[in-house]
A and B are shown apart, each in its own frame.
Chain A
Amino acid sequence: MALLEVKNLDVTLATSRGPARAVRNLSFDLDRGQTLGIVGESGCGKSMTALALLGLLPENGVTTGSINLDGQDLLTLNEDAMCGVRGNRISMIFQEPMTSLNPLHTIGRQVTEPMLIHQGMTRDQARDEAVRLLERVGIASAAQRLDSFPHQLSGGQRQRVMIAMALSCKPDVLIADEPTTALDVTIQGQILDLIADIVAEAGMALILISHDLGVIAETVDRVLVMYGGAGVETGPTASLFEHLAHPYTQGLFAAVPKLGSGGRRGQGARLATIPGLVPELVDLPTGCTFADRCNIADGQCAGTVPTVHDVAEDAGHRVACLKPDDAKRQFAPAEAGR
């Protein structure tokens, strides 16, 4: 049994225009010490998946399926029990360090808060621990920084504080949702390295969410590609980048000029080679959601739910596509040209 087992996860948001299926039939496993990257365009359901894991969906959201943490289905827990999981067993780092810290509270107060509510520490114990944590994430003169306010810190420092906060209760699972997107390019690498080091050190599981294939390739050992709320391809990072079995993954990859540079690219440039727009979650096609943008799709694709094929069976690399052979053929020349 894996540490975290997500099975047939569905997230539906009630909107004024009808139910929007933000996540559809998503399954993945994650064990201690493993790292998983979830990649996809904005609106593909990757952030919704993260919020569903924490039970923090907006009020109009409904989740079905199961999310097992050490065999305990989180979806069956009541709100109080979920509060005991959040920040304690599953922690999250958010995209916007500038706005994710309370501007009116000191850094110390915010970093110690999880320890005070989950671990019953005294204020002094929590403060000592907070200094250690801040030192670990690379904040200079950590003890003095406890009394600073967020506005006195730079963006990178704030993200380090967010990381310290997320780590404070030594969670089993750390979710990082676009942790570097809002940061300067020069800081991005440092923050990613820090996250990777800490995760390895503590042996926790990491879910790294990003739209950036470069960030994903550098940091995680497994990748899940999401499109229109569903997983379209999943596999070990090496195998995935070797085969690029799904036309959408190929599109994402083709839009990245140099893999592994870690640089930031504009959304428009990255997706220039994929025609069309991200589908509306309210009226998704009945079959393959990518059909209308796919260059190998035929009349059958839009009406038929894609079947799952093994790309590299031993590595657990799978793709959800009706025409995996066509996709493979189309990718081959590009591979040869490299």
Chain B
Amino acid sequence: MSVFLAKRFLTFVATLLGASIVVFLVLEILPGDPSMTLLGADADEEAYAALRLKLGLDDPAFVRYFEWMWGMFHGDFGVSYAYSVPVMELVWGSLGLTVPLAMFAMAITVVVALGLGVFAASRHNKPGDYVIMTISQLGIAVPNFWFGILLILFFAVNLGWFKAGGFIQWEDGIWLALKSLFLPAIALATVQAAILARTTRSAVLETFREDYVRTARAKGLTRSQTLWRHVLRNALIPVITVMGLQFANLLAGTIVIESVFSLPGLGKLVFQAIANRDMPVVKDIVLLLAGMVIVVNFIVDVTYAVIDPRLKVHDV
């Protein structure tokens, strides 16, 4: 493993650790004693004490933190206060919606944005470029949940092509499930694709100005050969950086969009949990989402090293 990757891996682990400590402090320590919330103010002292013992609340904070972490590593996510079932059970079903939705949206984002961005760059300062840049300028400003509502109004209510909301489980057919995620994914992807298309366009244009691109042209490569062989891979580096950041936005956006389309994902689960003061569920979901963002950022770092040979040996 290169110095670059080793360093990034350490950062990755430290970031996960830091995030988990923040989540623990904010959602476990600061809220105070949950036995009051769970039993109400009228229960007797013994009941409080029994519950506190059962939940392990009398242990020192760091013991509770390590128990929580240890459990997370072994798939034991704790028990929901509100439903008295393992959090894992609640989360697992929701993950099966939220993660595919975010990935679906990311896929749409990448395909649309790279296509439009490269096309706009190849039509630099021509009508096609202006049209795409104007559309993307507008696209960046669209609130995704509003766009979701508009999509429902048009494609579900007016045209009847899709259902207005709800999720068809994967067991009932992959295509049906994907179809029920299609409008939400479009709503999520639009803004991100607009941002990424602009990034891609500037990255490609920047790269076209590089000396080695001039060298490639001087060798006799055509413009399109130069684009495919020399420009795209170099232009990908800033594009991937933005993609990494966008994944975080997509996950956060998923929570909002699930609400627009009444999808039973992590978003819905976490809001129910907040309403129920069901801290173990909130805590686990927030850490899961943050963890996914951190993992994706690490994958981005690894991708850098794959694309750029300079990172394989040298430190940055």
A117 and B214 contacting across the interface, CB-CB below 8 Å: no
- Residues of B near A151 (CB, < 8 A) are 309-310, 314
- Residues of A near B211 (CB, < 8 A) are 94, 96, 99-100
B219 and A56 contacting across the interface, CB-CB below 8 Å: no
Indicate if A201 sits at the interface (CB-CB under 8 A). Answer: no
- Residues of A near B222 (CB, < 8 A) are 79-80, 83
A117 and B219 contacting across the interface, CB-CB below 8 Å: yes
A102 and B212 contacting across the interface, CB-CB below 8 Å: yes
A101 to B229, CA, bound (A): 13
A144 to B150, CA, bound (A): 60
- Residues of B near A149 (CB, < 8 A) are 309-310
**Which stretch from A84-92, A303-311, A330-338 is at the chain B interface?**
A84-92
A91 and B307 contacting across the interface, CB-CB below 8 Å: no
Indicate if A113 sits at the interface (CB-CB under 8 A). Answer: yes
B215 and A101 contacting across the interface, CB-CB below 8 Å: yes
Tell me the smallest distance from the CB of A223 to a CB of chain B, in Å: 24
Indicate if A103 sits at the interface (CB-CB under 8 A). Answer: yes
With known contacts A149-B309, A149-B310, A54–B212 Cβ distance under 8 A: no
- Residues of A near B216 (CB, < 8 A) are 102, 113
How many A-B pairs have beta carbons closer than 8 Å: the answer is: 75
B309 and A85 contacting across the interface, CB-CB below 8 Å: no
A149 to B310, CA, bound (A): 8
B309 and A100 contacting across the interface, CB-CB below 8 Å: no
Over the window 223-238 of chain B, the binary record of Cβ atoms lying under 8 Å from chain A Cβ atoms (1 yes, 0 no) is 1010001100110000
A117 and B308 contacting across the interface, CB-CB below 8 Å: no
Give B310's nearest chain A residue, CB to CB.
A151
Tell me the smallest distance from the CB of A54 to a CB of chain B, in Å: 6
Within 8 A of A (CB), among B289-316: 307-310, 313-314
Indicate if B159 sits at the interface (CB-CB under 8 A). Answer: no
A83 and B221 contacting across the interface, CB-CB below 8 Å: yes
A162 to B211, CA, bound (A): 12
A105 to B309, CA, bound (A): 8
B309 and A165 contacting across the interface, CB-CB below 8 Å: no
Q: Quick one: which of B214, B221, B233 contacts A113, CB cutoff 8 A?
A: B221
Indicate if A118 sits at the interface (CB-CB under 8 A). Answer: yes
A104 and B219 contacting across the interface, CB-CB below 8 Å: no
- 26 A/B residue pairs, CB under 8 Å, sorted by A: A56-B217, A56-B218, A79-B222, A83-B220, A87-B220, A87-B221, A88-B220, A92-B218, A94-B215, A94-B218, A96-B211, A100-B212, A101-B215, A102-B212, A102-B216, A103-B309, A104-B233, A104-B234, A104-B308, A113-B216, A113-B221, A114-B219, A117-B220, A149-B310, A151-B310, A165-B215
Residues of B within 8 A of A (CB): 210-212, 214-223, 225, 229-230, 233-234, 307-310, 313-314
> With A85-B220, A113-B221 given, can you name 6 additional A-B contacts, CB distance below 8 Å?
A86-B218, A91-B219, A96-B211, A99-B210, A152-B313, A165-B219
